[in-house]
Amino acid sequence: MTTCTPRAAWGNLLRRLHFYVGLFVGPFIFFAALTGTLYVATPQLENAIYRQALHADAVGERQPLAAQIAVAEKKVGNTLRLHAVRPGLANDETTRVMFADPALGPSEHRAIFVDPVSLQVLGDMTVYGTSGILPLRQKIDYLHNSLMMGDIGRLYSELAASWMWVSALGGIALWFYTRPKRRINNRFQSRRRLHVALGWALLGGMLLFSATGLTWSQWAGGNVDKLRAEMNWLTPQVNTALSGSPMVMDEHAEHRGHHGGMAMPETTMDLTQFDGALRVARQAGIEANRLEIRPARMPDQAWTVTEIDRSWPTQVDAVAVDPHAMRVVDQTRFDEFPLMAKLTRWGVDFHMGILFGLLNQLVLIAFGTALCVLIVWGYRMWWMRRPKKSATSPVETLCQSWLALPRWGKVATVTISLLLGLALPVMGGSLIVFVIVDWLRWRAASGVSLAGSSVR
């Protein structure tokens, strides 16, 4: 094996790692970027398709929430548990009454859309998640996070999120190591300059989307939550325990496919409590027009009234209301959230394209499109510089590059790999696969080299 300087060894290691991530993980990052771009580009299309359900034409005084909910319950036949109500408080907005249907998947609810003035049912469809997206974007979201394959499919998006930041930072480091001292004008270098320019332009976005994507992931997400809990970065939640005992809540439950909670005992709900809870919440400072009223699932729990307007300025205050005494028993204010909790909220909402409205959408569409171009351009560069077939030329491998590192470099890379593998299990598993494939190629190349030497 040819010896090389430590600088060259580090450059070779970066090159091989960047190559493996691009070759094997690049398609997953590409698909995540493509489907994510479709997701943020389609809210207006979804609103147009489902306009009849989302917007009411009747003019006049709104009916009480109790009357609107009664119409929705009659529509579903009083067989489903009432999950939440999102009142239509804007001028032409319908009220969304959401029911927990055991026939639906995790985080899915059957929503009845009611005209708050005429009490006419205008829509009946499945909605998904805290954002309440409708069937069109729900399918795109399932493609984006799980390839429509459930928990097994979520490994793909976690793989993409785990490696995207490594690919981004590794590409920048590789550019520092290998950039030519003088400008070279040929076809490959021209393509390389475009690849590097896109990498620099998209660096911040790739780091942000990698971090926020990991918070939703199946395996790394749990480790992220543990870190946030240790650092007191979790999003504050209202305490709904009327008995005084604190509640344990999973703020990522909907993303992880949990319905969250015990079975609801058979009780008769007084629908006028929804109007009372809304009135008490308004008096307590819940001012947004977009909010959700969620009744308690157990008799000793409070109801919650939560603002769900995640645009700028963010309105996500919440209150817990005792439905019997009609008084606020706990509340959270976004202005009082810890800084990291605010940054997490803003980062996730920016990731979803809702923080700054249309501007956020346009930025993410441009980012997603450019990221797809960056990946395709990387494949084009590899194809131009792919090794020629030769029976006697050994290939440079990750194993070769690692063996050429100084001792402290070997220890450092193994330690970092172990720590990252524990924190990001999907990254750790895929890295093991990379090393096995690389080791097999290294052994094969070494065998060919030795055979060639003995012939000579």
Model-level pTM? 0.88
At 250 the pLDDT is 44
User: Taking the domains of the chain in order of start, what are their residue ranges?
Assistant: 6-40+146-217+357-455, 53-145, 239-352
Indicate the CATH number for domain 53-145.
3.10.450
pLDDT value at 393 more than 50:
no
Question: 154 vs 84, 142, 146, 256, CA distance in Å?
Answer: 27, 9, 4, 10
pLDDT value at 386 more than 70:
yes
At 14 the pLDDT is 92
d(CA 292, CA 278): 9
At 451 the pLDDT is 46
pLDDT value at 351 more than 70:
yes
Counting residues of the chain whose pLDDT is more than 90, the rounded percentage is 71
Dihedral in degrees, nearest 10, Cα atoms 153, 156, 161, 165: 180
Q: pLDDT digit string (tens) for 422-448?
A: 999 999 999 999 999 989 888 887 765
pLDDT band of 210, cuts 50, 70, 90: very high
pLDDT value at 117 more than 80:
yes
**Pairing of β 318-322 and β 303-307:** antiparallel
pLDDT band of 199, cuts 50, 70, 90: very high
At 186 the pLDDT is 75
Q: Report, as an integer, the average pLDDT of 329-344.
A: 95
pLDDT band of 268, cuts 50, 70, 90: low
Q: pLDDT digit string (tens) for 317-331?
A: 999 999 999 999 999
Compute the half-sphere exposure of residue 377: CA atoms within 13 Å on the CB side of its CA.
19
Q: pLDDT digit string (tens) for 85-98?
A: 999 998 899 999 99
pLDDT band of 3, cuts 50, 70, 90: low
The whole-chain average pLDDT of the chain stands at 88
At 74 the pLDDT is 95
At 244 the pLDDT is 52
d(CA 215, CA 329): 30
Burial label for 269, CB within 10 Å (0-12, 13-18, 19+), is middle
Which candidate, 334, 340, 342, 338, places its Cα nearest to that of 315?
334
**Pairing of β 108-114 and β 121-128:** antiparallel
- Asked if residue 107 lies in contact with residue 128, where contact means CB atoms within 8 angstroms, the answer is yes
